[in-house]
Structure 1
């Protein structure tokens, strides 16, 4: 899928606000305001840490995969398809960028065993337009979607 002209994807109404706080950066812990998240975070060994905790990339992968899967189920339901048994897995990579900072890249692996390849492609393309994570990252990071 190629990106067309810029489209305003900002919300017209805020329906929910999530709150989380980091304590100690990548070697500390994160909590959510409602107590649902209370996790130790640690640098992965590949970035010089001990890997003895989760990391922001894992949290982003979890959030993106759940959000994209929900968008996929939503567009499937809108078109009358039951996507029971479908899954979305996310891989989030991090590495240096050309501005002396760091950037992310995402690969989403979508499994839609109950529909044919053409329909799966159409549903995934529609979900990519609906998903808030896709809308937030579009044009900012590389997102690859693989159907399997």
Structure 2
């Protein structure tokens, strides 16, 4: 059961591109991570520009977006859809309160330029069923998704 946040205290933002080489970038540039794929020899994760004290919400958003973009690729491949090179996922994770209790919530903005809207929507939503981060929070936090194809 999810609870809606009444007051947002802070937001962690990330922008992840379809190219895992470009990586995940925090909205305030505290985190710049070059991503790797599990099981690929020599594809280590590089923390190229980590300033002091990125927020937990920003780190969670970055890890979630990296995992989710991988899930998008798996779902698209199964559907025989080639994802665009300018695919991008922006995730915002809010820390907030309702009454005296703390909660998190998330917003996804998935951009798949050139993909038919109904196909992009299907891939984006199905990827949540594949992504371990999405599965971990399913039913526990409020997650909103916006998918655009232009």
TM-score where L is the length of structure 1: 0.62
Which sections of structure 2, spanning at least 5 residues, go unmatched?
1-43
Change (3 A) 1:35 1:121: closer
RMSD between aligned alpha carbons? 2.2
1:85 and 1:114 in contact (8 A); partners too: no
Asked if 1:89 is matched to 2:68, the reply is no
Provide the secondary structure at the position in 1 that maps to 2:64: helix
Q: Say which structure, 1 or 2, has more relative contact order (CA 8 Å, 6+ apart).
A: 2
Provide the secondary structure at the position in 2 that maps to 1:102: strand
Listed as ranges, the matches of 1:1-148 within 5 Å are 53-83=53-83, 84-98=85-99, 100-148=100-148
Provide the secondary structure at the position in 2 that maps to 1:104: strand
Provide the secondary structure at the position in 1 that maps to 2:89: strand
Q: Please state how far the C-alpha of 1:126 moved relative to its aligned partner.
A: 1.0
Deviations 1:18-65 (A, max 9, x none): xxxxxxxxxxxxxxxx9966x665xxxxxxxxxxx3110100110111
Provide the secondary structure at the position in 1 that maps to 2:66: helix
TM-score where L is the length of structure 2: 0.62
- State which structure, 1 or 2, has the greater radius of gyration over its C-alpha atoms: 1
In 2: Cα distance, 1:63 partner to 1:125 partner: 18
- Alignment length (residue pairs): 103
Which sections of structure 1, spanning at least 5 residues, go unmatched?
1-33, 42-52
Change (3 A) 1:35 1:112: closer
Which one is further off, 131-140 or 82-91?
82-91
